Amino acid sequence: MRILVFRPKSAAERTAARLAVLGHEAVLAPATRIVPLDTPRPEGSFAAIVVGSANSFVIAADDAIRDVPVIAVGERTAEVARARGFTDVESADGDRIAMAALARRRFPAGGRALVLQGRDHKADTMALLADAGLTPVSWIVYAAAPVESLTSEAVEALRMERIGAVLHYSRRSAEVALALVDRDGLGRPFFAARQVCLSLDVAEPLRRAGARHIVVATAPREEALFAALDEA
């Protein structure tokens, strides 16, 4: 199957390699690009670092925080944290709710938590961590900036109606994808394909736009997304 992948370029390339092993052909269509933000790190000491996306590691790990325990949203984010030099990393293997649950178990005494976030982050993350007993402190370290146009490969594949499914990994990229296909007048072939989404939250903009062929992964992990793709 030919599959349109809406992810930032480096992540999309990893997904394309995994899809090729499964016998699929990926057409890359980055909807956003990850831009580091030069925002100063909040002052003070921290009991934990909480990271909801591997994109947060566009920053460098300095010595002052490298030994602070890290709670990562999933294993991919955990792997990147370790590669950046963090020494105590645990994966929640889920979403921000699972992250908060792990924080409650890991830090029963509470403490300040440095929360690495993108500019367009989920509004309830800080409240979830506060409910888990931590004192969350936000550090906005990157932005997911929208691209100006679809790749030429994506445009051609859609115009020729060669796309069988579309993979969506974030609500932000799904929203940008809708704007891009609308601008190029490619809504009909886009919506004719199965929209395979990482979560119900990711699927919501597509539902509101009128997409009828939506499949949602049973868990917010790429393995579950691929299983949903097989179902589609």
pLDDT at 232: 66
Q: Which residue has the higher pLDDT, 220 or 115?
A: 115
pLDDT at 59: 72
pLDDT tens-digit series, residues 69-89 = 999 999 999 999 999 999 999
What is the pTM assigned to this prediction? Answer: 0.85
Taking only Cα atoms into account, the Rg of the chain, rounded to an integer number of angstroms, comes to: 18
Give me the domains of the chain, ranges plus CATH numbers. Answer: 2-31+147-231 (3.40.50.10090), 35-144 (3.40.50.10090)
H helices of the chain, in order, are: 9-21, 75-83, 96-106, 125-131, 152-159, 171-183, 187-192, 200-208, 222-231
pLDDT tens-digit series, residues 87-109 = 999 999 888 999 999 999 999 99
Reported confidence tier of residue 61, pLDDT bands at 50, 70, 90:
low
Nearest to 93 by CA among 223, 230, 229, 228: 223
Please say if the pLDDT value at position 58 is more than 90: no
Please say if the pLDDT value at position 230 is more than 90: no
